[in-house]
Amino acid sequence: MAHAITLVDTLKRLLKARGVTYAELAAKIGMSEASVKRMFSQRNFTLERLDEILLAAGIEFDELSAAQREPNLVSQLTLAQEKELIEDPRLLVVAVSAMNHIGYADIVREYDLTEAEVTGYLVRLDKIGFLELLPNNRVKLLISRTFSWLADGPIQGYFRREAAHDYLNSRFDGEFEMMKLVNMMLTKQSSAALLERLKQVASDFAHQHQHEARLPLEDRKAISLMVAVRPWVPQAFKALRRR
């Protein structure tokens, strides 16, 4: 029973990290929200139901198993911790580098930071609980595979501003570049299905990132995948609508 409790608690944590509410989950698996809440509170459901939940939330079983084995990993930082990162761009660079499994020597070689500075930043990240600093400046990440920045928090705000002013300022016609803007009109059901497919794409490439993390830095290229979907009509179109 103890293993079942741990599994369900881990599943709840993964759902929260993905922003999946009980109401959304209930709609996807054909249950009432009250029944889903009761199922989780009692920690009692069949393997078939577990499969349905994982499929609906876009969670792979191996991801659930890995998260269950590492229950103490951090899935999000606090608001104060994110503010500490954003207030020092060099600290943020070292944190993101560590997330991307870029080693100490590669950080020193790639960025205008001394060895002493990189070590100092790693010590600060150790104190935050972001990573554990090991001998010879090796690090062990303490963030989970489902780690995410706070929704509308300091880090997301920073990258949103950077995206608006830098990331999107491109023709997207270079090597490994692509942009597709597709305007469509869909039902609620089709819109929900589209969101699930996009979540799965992002999840697949996150797994690929983990798989290739130990390859040499020169064999890897920084790739940013932006997935954005929202009901939207250009302001110029809105201005022409009849009132």
pLDDT tens-digit series, residues 91-149: 999 999 999 999 999 999 999 999 999 999 999 999 988 999 999 999 999 887 778 88
Q: Do 138 and 152 lie in a common domain?
A: yes
C-alpha radius of gyration, the chain, whole number: 21
pLDDT at 177: 92
- Whether residues 85 and 126 fall in one domain: yes
In this structure, is residue 240 part of a structural domain?
A: no
CATH label of the domain that carries residue 46: 1.10.260
pLDDT tens digit sequence for 17-26: 677 888 999 9
- For residues 68 and 61, what is the distance between their CA atoms, to the nearest angstrom? 10
Select from 127, 147, 169 the last residue of a domain: 169
- Domain of 195, in residue numbers: 171-235
Q: How many domains, the chain? A: 3
- Please say if the pLDDT value at position 11 is more than 90: no
Residues 78 and 38 in one domain: no
Angle between helices 115-128 and 89-99 (to 10 degrees): 80
pLDDT for the residue 32: 92
What is residue 19's predicted lDDT score, i.e. its pLDDT?
A: 73
Q: Whose structure tokens read 């979907």?
A: 229
Asked if pLDDT for residue 202 goes beyond 90, the answer is no
Residues 201 and 179 in one domain: yes
Task: Taking each helix axis as running N to C, give the angle between helix 79-86 and helix 115-128, from 0 to 180 degrees, rounded to the nearest 10.
Answer: 170
Tell whether the model's pLDDT for residue 67 goes beyond 80.
no
Residues 141 and 183 in one domain: no
The reported pLDDT for the residue numbered 69 is 65
Whole-angstrom Cα distance, residue 135 to residue 154? 31
